[in-house]
Amino acid sequence: MKKLIRFGVSLDHHLLDAFDLHIKKRKYTNRSEALRDLIRDNLVWQEWDDDKETVGTITFVYDHHVRDLSRKLTDIQHRYQPLILSGMHVHLDHDHCLEVLAVKGKGSVIKKLADILIGAKGVKHGKLTATTTGKGLS
């Protein structure tokens, strides 16, 4: 069993009030769990900054009527195929498609792929969601 350590934290009361509101909105059972999540999130981004092997998703919405866009997006994905674990394509309406790509690899290369896809003309919105392989996180 992992050893738990208790420690004190001093905060301005306004900051603590805002944190308690965050805890309530997110349905945390206590401050400790919310604090653990904040620390883990910071550690995940550190993995990305250190260019370690990471995982995440690239999500984007695009207008499939934009000339040659579907082919360009497919070509980009084929070039970066070793990073892409899986993909999902959804037809949202007559004009728009949603793509979600599960990716794994070095953080810098995944960021580059996300920037290329999201920056393509005709992509209306996109987001890289970074997470971790879980190695080394408690």
At 59-96, the pLDDT tens digits run 999 999 999 999 999 999 999 999 999 999 999 999 99
Contacts of 76 (CB under 8 A, 6+ apart): 113, 116, 117, 120
pLDDT over 80 at 2, yes or no: no
Q: Rounded CA gap, 27 and 134, in Å?
A: 23
Q: Above pLDDT 70, what percent of the chain?
A: 97
| Centroid of chain to Cα 20 | 25
Tell whether the torsion through CA atoms of 116, 60, 133 and 5 is positive or negative: positive
Packing angle between helix 31-49 and helix 13-26, nearest 10 degrees?
90
Q: List Cα–Cα distances, 124 to 15, 40, 96, 111, in angstroms.
A: 36, 31, 9, 18
Tell me which of 2-16, 50-64, 120-134 is least confident. Answer: 2-16
